[in-house]
Structure 1
Amino acid sequence: MGNLVKAEFRKTLTTKSWWGLMIPAVLFAFLFALGWGAVTNDVNDFFGSSEAEEFAAATGVQLVELPVGLLALAHGANIGMMFPVIFGVFALAGEYSKKTITTTFLTAPNRGSALTAKMLTYMVWGAIYGLVIVGASSLGTVLTVDSRGLPTASQWLGVLGAGVLATILATLFGIGVGAVWNSVVGATITLTIWMLVVENVLVFVAFGWWGVTWLGGVLPNGTLNGVVGAIGAEAFGAAGLSVPGALDDDLQWLLQYAAGAPGAFSWWAAALIFLAWTMLFFVGGWAANQRRDIT
């Protein structure tokens, strides 16, 4: 297994996909955190006004201690997580496209060993993506958010851990979708349209027309965003077990949206639900590739 993992790392490093996708991931994470950082300063000004007293009474949150910088940090990290998903698509679907999958399967004891080596290798890559993306988002946050709104050290470490967990799962999710679809182009286009357009429209329509606030907390993109975003929502008293009963459902959803996690129940619930989506596609892709012909 060790040799198979080494071979996978060498294979990945000889391609341009790992850095070709990491560059936009860093740029988007930094720029989104930079933009949202400027907005959060205005939010903090609001929280310093008398109009915020009602909000404080409803949520039970100490506004003077509210780390609004978590909004910028979460949005930056979440937008960057689309790229490790696409990177994961290349793991197996890319080999079918380049006709190198035959060599991969024939040089391994069996297909299960080859796929396990890919899984282990891309988990490491996912962790690397997580560290880089959270780092870029943190830089954008620090450059624009006032010191009074910056997260505490423990909150930042929580975002870092959640971000690494999310990108590992995102990469495995991409592997699974690519394995099922067996096409880099098809899987990438489908994932991009679904995660950036279709799912967001569904969540907005469900909330606006039917008052359904939980849909984003069970769909793939919403749960992926919720792993990090729910940490910010929890700081607002809008997610997690500490949600006060007095908090209005619509207000709770809007605060979750501001944190980049509309419908999220908590960060750990989001992680478990997205893990279920990941396993659904990963196991499906695994099964499909046990029977798929190679040439």
Structure 2
Amino acid sequence: MGRLLVAEFRKTLTTKSWWGLMIPAVVLAFGFALGWGAFANEVGDVLTSSQTQTIARALGIETGNLPMGLLAIAHGINIGLTFPVIFGVFALAGEYSKKTITTTFLTAPNRVSVLTAKMITYIVWGAIYGIVLAAVSSLGILITVDGSRLPTGGQWIGVLGASMLAGVLATLFGIGVGAMWNSVVGSVVTLVIYLLIIENVLVLLFYGLWRIDWLGAVLPNGTMNGIVGAIGAQAFGASGVKVPGLDKETQWTLQYVAGAPGAVSWWASALVFLAWTAVFFAGGWAANQRRDIT
């Protein structure tokens, strides 16, 4: 197993995919965190102005020191998580497309050991992606969000841990999809369209037309985003704006601003996305036990 792990790390480090995907992930994560941080900070200025405070008190709403940084940081991390998903696709589908899978399987004791080594290797890479995304997103909000509205030390550690967990699961999810489809191009194109467009449209459409607010809590992209996004949503609801009898529309809006519409909690999102990951990973594992090599 040790030699297989060394071989898998060499495969990833000697190709361009790891840094070719890391660069746009960093750029987009930083840009989204920067933009959402500036927007969230402006909203915080409006909500904490003397005029708004007076109106809020008259309505029975208490505004405190709003954690606007937590609302913004998830957007940077979540857009960046698309890239570890794509990176995971290359684990098996990439080897089939390059015809290197034959050598990999024939020089290993069995296919189970190969897939196990790949899983361990890409868990490490997923954690690295999570750390990098959390770091650049944090830099983005540090530049645009006032110091009093930044996460506390404990919240920052929580975001880092959630980002690493999301990165690991995102990478394994990509491995499963790529292994089942056995096509890099097909898997990547479908995943990008689904993650960035289709599911977001579905969540907005179902909420806008039928007020179905739980869809983001059960679909893959929503649950992946909710691992980090729900931390911001929960912190905002707990220590930011407190409205007696908070209605569902306000709650859903706060979740959407935090990048996790429909999410109940970070751990619930993690469990549901783990289930999606397990389904695709197990399917890919089973498919590769039977698939012929040439």
**What is aligned with 1:220?**
220
Q: Residues 237-266 of structure 1: CA distance to partner in whole angstroms, max 9, x if unpaired?
A: 28xxxx988111011111000000000010
**Identity over aligned pairs, percent:** 69
Structure 1 residues 59, 148: closer, same or farther in 2, change over 3 A?
farther
Aligned residues of 1:46 and 1:52 also touching (Cα < 8 A): no
Measured in 2, the distance between the counterparts of 1:244 and 1:179 equals 47
Stretches of structure 2 that go unaligned for 5 or more consecutive residues are none
Aligned residues of 1:179 and 1:286 also touching (Cα < 8 A): yes
**What is aligned with 2:183?**
183
Moved more, 95-104 or 146-155: 146-155
Q: Residues 35-73 of structure 1: CA distance to partner in whole angstroms, max 9, x if unpaired?
A: 01110111111221354678789998x633321111221
**What is aligned with 1:20?**
20
Measured in 2, the distance between the counterparts of 1:279 and 1:41 equals 38
Measured in 1, the distance between the counterparts of 2:120 and 2:289 equals 18
**CA RMSD after TM alignment:** 2.0
**What is aligned with 1:141?**
141
How many residues align? The count is: 291
**What is aligned with 2:253?**
254
TM-score of the pair, normalised by structure 2: 0.94
SS at structure 2 position matched to 1:290:
helix
**What is aligned with 2:46?**
46
CA shift for structure 1 position 236: 1.7
SS at structure 2 position matched to 1:207:
helix
**What is aligned with 2:169?**
169
Amino acid at match of 1:100: T
Measured in 2, the distance between the counterparts of 1:27 and 1:59 equals 42
Moved more, 93-102 or 34-43: 34-43
Measured in 2, the distance between the counterparts of 1:57 and 1:216 equals 34
Moved more, 226-235 or 49-58: 49-58
Structure 1 residues 97, 158: closer, same or farther in 2, change over 3 A?
same
CA shift for structure 1 position 205: 0.7
**What is aligned with 2:128?**
128
Amino acid at match of 1:285: G
Amino acid at match of 1:161: G
Measured in 2, the distance between the counterparts of 1:214 and 1:59 equals 28
Matched, 1:109 2:109: yes
Matched, 1:235 2:200: no
SS at structure 2 position matched to 1:237:
helix
Measured in 2, the distance between the counterparts of 1:43 and 1:234 equals 18
Structure 1 residues 59, 19: closer, same or farther in 2, change over 3 A?
farther
Measured in 1, the distance between the counterparts of 2:272 and 2:262 equals 12
Measured in 2, the distance between the counterparts of 1:69 and 1:121 equals 32
Stretches of structure 1 that go unaligned for 5 or more consecutive residues are none
Measured in 2, the distance between the counterparts of 1:88 and 1:74 equals 21
Structure 1 residues 244, 269: closer, same or farther in 2, change over 3 A?
farther
Structure 1 residues 124, 288: closer, same or farther in 2, change over 3 A?
same
Measured in 2, the distance between the counterparts of 1:57 and 1:5 equals 63
Structure 1 residues 196, 44: closer, same or farther in 2, change over 3 A?
same
Matched, 1:76 2:76: yes
SS at structure 2 position matched to 1:151:
coil
Aligned residues of 1:88 and 1:122 also touching (Cα < 8 A): yes
Aligned residues of 1:58 and 1:244 also touching (Cα < 8 A): no
Amino acid at match of 2:128: I
Measured in 1, the distance between the counterparts of 2:139 and 2:75 equals 13
Structure 1 residues 204, 144: closer, same or farther in 2, change over 3 A?
same
**What is aligned with 1:269?**
268
Aligned residues of 1:29 and 1:137 also touching (Cα < 8 A): yes
